[in-house]
C-alpha cells in the first residue's frame, strides 16, 4: 500500500500545478465569503482554474460558492482569489478547510484578505454594515495546527497577538474614509455551524467579547499566520444574530451580502491599492 503523502507535499504539488497554468509572482490571496464571490469577476488578465483540476484540492458543496481559483490583477496587485471556500460544517477536516491557504503560501503569497458573511452580535451593528476584523475567538472546539508541525512552515507555538495585521487595519480604515463608507470594527467569533446560534449562545458570544459571529475564517487565519502571511479581515454583517432580530435563513444572508457587495468590492479594491 502506498503511504498517503503529507499535507505539505500535497500543497507543494497543488502549487506546482497552478504555476504550470502560467500563474506566478502572486502577492495577495483573497478568500471570498458567501455572496461575495463576485468580486473575483473584476480580476483582470485572469487565469481561472477549477478546483476539480488541481491535485488534492477539495471541492466546495455550499450554495452561493463557485469552486474555482481566479488569478490575475486587482487593485494593481497580483492576486489569487478563492471563489468558494471550504467550511468545517461541510464535513471537511481542518486540514482540508485550510489546504488552500497552504497552497497560497507555497505560491509565495505574503498577504491575505479574508472576508465572510456574519451575524451582528454587537448591538450597534445593522445588517449591511461592514466590520473590520480586529481579532477573533476560536470556538470551533478544535484547531487547524493540531498534528505534526512543519518547522519549515512556522513555529510549533505561533504567536497570535497580531493575528490581524495592524498596518492593514490602518489601511482598511483609510480606504473606508476615502470611500465615505461607515466601517464598524470588532472581534469575529468563529463557531462550527451549520445551525445558526441559539439566542442563549449569542448572549454567551456577546459576554465573551464577540462582535460578529460566523462559521469560517478562524481556521484559515490561523494557518496563514503560522506561515507568516499578513492578514486583513472584513465581515459583512448580513443579519442580526439570533435573538436580536427576526428569524435567520441562508437566503436572507445571501440577499444582504449581495446588496452590500458594491461597497464591499470598493473597500477591498482600495485596500489592495494601498497594500
Cite the active site residues. 34, 65, 87, 89-90, 117, 215-216, 239, 250
Integer Cα distance of 134 and 187 in angstroms: 6
- Minimum separation from the CB atom of position 56 to ligand HPA (A): 28
**Of the two residues 57 and 196, which places its CB atom closer to ligand HPA in the complex?**
196
**Cell representation of residue 83:** 471563489
Integer Cα distance of 180 and 198 in angstroms: 35
Are 100 and 80 a contacting pair, CB within 8 Å? Answer: no
235 bridge partner residues: 116, 131
H helix count then E strand count, the chain: 8, 9
Beta strand segments in 51-155, E: 68-74, 77-83, 111-120, 130-138
What HEC string does 17-42 produce?
A: HHHHCCCCCCCEEEEECCCCHHHHHH
**Of the two residues 17 and 139, which places its CB atom closer to ligand HPA in the complex?**
139
**Of the two residues 57 and 264, which places its CB atom closer to ligand HPA in the complex?**
264
Element (H, E) at 230: strand 230-240
Element (H, E) at 271: helix 261-274
Tell me the C-alpha to C-alpha distance, in Å, between residue 22 and each of 46, 49, 72, 112: 10, 11, 10, 21
- Minimum separation from the CB atom of position 131 to ligand HPA (A): 12
**Of the two residues 117 and 171, which places its CB atom closer to ligand HPA in the complex?**
117
- Minimum separation from the CB atom of position 255 to ligand HPA (A): 12
Are 72 and 123 a contacting pair, CB within 8 Å? Answer: no
- Minimum separation from the CB atom of position 233 to ligand HPA (A): 14
**Of the two residues 92 and 196, which places its CB atom closer to ligand HPA in the complex?**
196
Name the site residues for ligand HPA (rule: CB under 6 A): 117-119, 196-197, 213-215, 238-239, 241, 248, 253
- Minimum separation from the CB atom of position 194 to ligand HPA (A): 9
- Minimum separation from the CB atom of position 257 to ligand HPA (A): 8
DSSP label at 194?
Answer: S
Integer Cα distance of 241 and 150 in angstroms: 38
**Of the two residues 107 and 114, which places its CB atom closer to ligand HPA in the complex?**
114
Query: In the bound complex, which residue of the shown chain has the CB atom lying closest to ligand HPA?
Result: 119
The reply to whether omega before 185 is within 30° of 0 (cis) is no
Amino acid at each position: 500500500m502506498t503511504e498517503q503523502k503529507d499535507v505539505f507535499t500535497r500543497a507543494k504539488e497543488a502549487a506546482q500545478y497552478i504555476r504550470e497554468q502560467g500563474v506566478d509572482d502572486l502577492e495577495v490571496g483573497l478568500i471570498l465569503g458567501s455572496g461575495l464571490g463576485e468580486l473575483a469577476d473584476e480580476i483582470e488578465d485572469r487565469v481561472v482554474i477549477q478546483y476539480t483540476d488541481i491535485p488534492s484540492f477539495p471541492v466546495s458543496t455550499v450554495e452561493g460558492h463557485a469552486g474555482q481559483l481566479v488569478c490575475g490583477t486587482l487593485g494593481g496587485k497580483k492576486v489569487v482569489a478563492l471563489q468558494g471556500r471550504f467550511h468545517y460544517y461541510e464535513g471537511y477536516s481542518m486540514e482540508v478547510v485550510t489546504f488552500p491557504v497552504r497552497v497560497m503560501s507555497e505560491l509565495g503569497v505574503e498577504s491575505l484578505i479574508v472576508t465572510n458573511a456574519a451575524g451582528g452580535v454587537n448591538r450597534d451593528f445593522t445588517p449591511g454594515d461592514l466590520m473590520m476584523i480586529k481579532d477573533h475567538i476560536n470556538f470551533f472546539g478544535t484547531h487547524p495546527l493540531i498534528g505534526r508541525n512543519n518547522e519549515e512552515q512556522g513555529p510549533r507555538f505561533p504567536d497570535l497577538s497580531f493575528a490581524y495585521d495592524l498596518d492593514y487595519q490602518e489601511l482598511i480604515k483609510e480606504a473606508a474614509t476615502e470611500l465615505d463608507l461607515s466601517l464598524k470594527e470588532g472581534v469575529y467569533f468563529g463557531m462550527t455551524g451549520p445551525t445558526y446560534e441559539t439566542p442563549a449562545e449569542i448572549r454567551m458570544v456577546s459576554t465573551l467579547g464577540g462582535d460578529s459571529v460566523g462559521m469560517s475564517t478562524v481556521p484559515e487565519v490561523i494557518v496563514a499566520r503560522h506561515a507568516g502571511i499578513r492578514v486583513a479581515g472584513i465581515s459583512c454583517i448580513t443579519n442580526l444574530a439570533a435573538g436580536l432580530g427576526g428569524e435567520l435563513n441562508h437566503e436572507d444572508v445571501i440577499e444582504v451580502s449581495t446588496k452590500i457587495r458594491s461597497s464591499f468590492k470598493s473597500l477591498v479594491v482600495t485596500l489592495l491599492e494601498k497594500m
